[in-house]
Amino acid sequence: MRTKIVAGNWKMNLNREESIELVNAISAELKHLELGNNRVMVFPPSINIEAAQNSKSRDARVEVGAQNMHQANGGAFTGEISASMLIGANVKTVILGHSERREYFNETDSLLKEKVDQALENNLEVVFCFGEKLEERNAKSHFDVVERQLKKALFHLTEAQWANIILAYEPVWAIGTGMTATPEQAQEMHAFIRNTIGSAFNDKLAGAVSILYGGSVKPNNAEEIFGKPDVDGGLIGGASLNASDFSAIIKAM
Ligand code: 13P
C-alpha cells in the first residue's frame, strides 16, 4: 500500500519562537492519534529547521524538512544552502520545484533536474512539486504541461531512485486562492500522472509513488479530496500554519 502523507509548507512565515510553538501545538494535537504508516511533515524556513527539529515537545512523528536547496555541492553562491548542509541539520526530505520557486526565482525544468539529482545523490528524499497555471488549464494544455514537468526533471531517474520521490501536484491557480481543484479534477490529474509514470517505467513503480494534492486544502475539503483513489494526501500552505486546522487535515488522511 502507498504511504499517505500530509505535509505543511510554511513558506516564508513564522519566526523562531512561532516555529517552535507551532510544531509543539501540532504534536499536542496528534498525541492520541494512531498514524500507522501515514506520515506528517512540516517544512519551516531553513533558518528555523533546527529549532523546530530540536523542540523537546515535538512528536517524533512530525518530520521536519526543508523548502529548497541549491544544486551545487558548495561554493560561491551567496545566500544559498547545499544538500549536505541539510543532511547536517538532520533533514531527510526537501521540497523542490514549488511553483513559487519556478515563478519568482526562475527555476526551470532543467535546473530542477539538477536539484533532484543533487538531492538524491545526498540521500535526501524529494517532494517534487509541479502543476499547470490557469491559462494552461483554460487552453486545455494542463496534461501536456504536467507531463513535460515530470519528464524533464524525473524521467531519467532509475527505479531505485524513485523510492525517494514523493510527487505533489499543485495547480498554480489553486494555490493560496481558496479556489481548490474539485476532487474529480484532482483525481483525473493524479490518475493521468500515475498512468504517465506507468508507461514510462512500469505499473509497480507507478503504483508505489505517493502523489499529494496541494492548493487550498482546508479542514472542510480535505476528506473529500483525500478520499479519491489516486490522491495520497496533501501539501498544505495556509492551513498548515494553524495547529488545529492542520491536525484536522491530518485526521482526514
Ligand atoms: P495553500 O494551501 O495556501 O493554497 O498553498 C498550497 C501550497 O503552495 C503548498 O505548497
Vertex 22 angle, CA 16 and 28, to 5°: 140
pLDDT at 176 over 90: no
Q: Is 142 in the active site?
A: no
Output the ligand 1 site: residues, CB below 6 A: 9, 98, 170, 175-176, 214-217, 235-239
Quote the pLDDT of residue 99: 97
As a whole number, mean pLDDT of residues 77-101 equals: 98
Index of the ligand 1 atom closest to the CA of residue 216: 4
**How many A from CA of 235 to the centre of ligand 1?**
7
**Pick the catalytic residue: 63, 98, 107, 136?**
98
**How many A from CA of 35 to the centre of ligand 1?**
23
Q: Is 70 in the active site?
A: no
Question: 26: closest CA among 61, 77, 66?
Answer: 61
- Residues 95-104 pLDDT 10s: 999 999 999 9
Mutate to test the pocket of ligand 1, among 5, 6, 9 (most ligand atoms within 8 A of CB): 9
d(CA 66, CA 100): 15
Q: Where are the domains of the chain?
A: 14-36+46-251
pLDDT at 178 over 90: no
Question: 131: closest CA among 178, 97, 180, 166?
Answer: 97
Index of the ligand 1 atom closest to the CA of residue 99: 8
Q: How confident is the model at residue 1 (pLDDT cuts 50, 70, 90)?
A: confident
- Three-state DSSP class for residue 32: coil
d(CA 151, CA 162): 13
Integer-rounded Cα radius of gyration of the chain = 17
According to DSSP, the β-strands at 211-214 and 233-236 are: parallel
Q: What percent of the chain has pLDDT over 90?
A: 97
Task: Estimate to the nearest angstrom the gap between the alpha carbon of 206 and the chain centroid.
Answer: 17
**How many A from CA of 205 to the centre of ligand 1?**
27
Quote the pLDDT of residue 129: 98
Question: What type of residue is 229?
Answer: P
Measure Cα distances from 104 to 38, 87, 97, 107, 205 in Å. 32, 26, 11, 8, 33
Mutate to test the pocket of ligand 1, among 236, 245, 249 (most ligand atoms within 8 A of CB): 236
Residue with cell 505535509: 7
As a whole number, mean pLDDT of residues 143-161 equals: 98
d(CA 104, CA 127): 19
Query: What average pLDDT is seen over the chain?
Result: 97
As a whole number, mean pLDDT of residues 93-115 equals: 98
CATH topology of domain 14-36+46-251: TIM Barrel (3.20.20)
pLDDT at 173 over 90: yes
DSSP per-residue codes, 180-245? PPPHHHHHHHHHHHHHHHHHHS-HHHHHHS-EEEESS--TTTHHHHHTSTT--EEEESGGGGSHHH
Index of the ligand 1 atom closest to the CA of residue 215: 4
DSSP 4: P
Cell of 128: 517534487
